């Protein structure tokens, strides 16, 4: 069973977001890391780069796949997880904690995000 923390919000492309005031932290879900397999590399944006809601902000690479990462809400990158350089496996072992990808300053409003419950339904449907 996939771990889906109730206090986070989710996208249909399997990112999670923790919004705290004007800032937010973004990562990929437990379901996503399991599907990807061992993560070998994460291509992260530069601090200061801005993205629209749903824009491609990076790439996550496993041995067998390379997946684009989409920002759940519009924002400006204020920090990237530099530990992933040496330890990309943190995404697999702790996707909601030490495996976080970027921290952003949220640009305007909240985009179309899913609750933990809605996300849980989504992956249940795709998990045949």
Binding site for other proteins (CB under 8 A): 40-41, 43, 61-66, 68
Shortest Cβ 27–other proteins spacing (Å) = 20
State which residue, 41 or 83, has the beta carbon closest to other proteins: 41
State which residue, 22 or 68, has the beta carbon closest to other proteins: 68
Shortest Cβ 19–other proteins spacing (Å) = 28
CA dihedral sign of residues 87, 59, 66, 16: positive
91 phi/psi in degrees, rounded to 5: -65, -35
CA distance 40 to 26: 19
CA distance 99 to 25: 11
95 contacts 30 by C-beta, under 8 angstroms: yes
State which residue, 38 or 117, has the beta carbon closest to other proteins: 38
- The helix or strand, by DSSP H or E, that contains position 104, with its residue range, turns out to be strand 102-106
80 contacts 101 by C-beta, under 8 angstroms: yes
State which residue, 65 or 112, has the beta carbon closest to other proteins: 65
Shortest Cβ 51–other proteins spacing (Å) = 14
Shortest Cβ 76–other proteins spacing (Å) = 16
């Amino acid at each position: 069973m996939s771990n889906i923390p109730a206090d986070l919000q989710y996208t249909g492309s399997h990112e999670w977001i923790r919004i705290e005031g004007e800032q937010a932290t973004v990562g990929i879900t437990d379901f996503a890391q399991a599907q990807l397999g061992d993560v070998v590399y994460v291509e992260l944006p530069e601090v200061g780069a801005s993205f629209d809601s749903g824009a491609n902000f990076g790439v996550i690479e496993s041995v067998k796949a390379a997946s684009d990462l989409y920002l759940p809400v519009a924002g400006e990158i204020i920090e990237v997880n530099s530990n992933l350089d040496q330890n990309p496996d943190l995404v697999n072992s702790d996707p909601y904690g030490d495996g976080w990808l970027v921290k952003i300053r949220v640009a305007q409003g909240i985009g179309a995000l899913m609750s933990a419950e809605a996300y849980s339904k989504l992956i249940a449907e795709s998990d045949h």
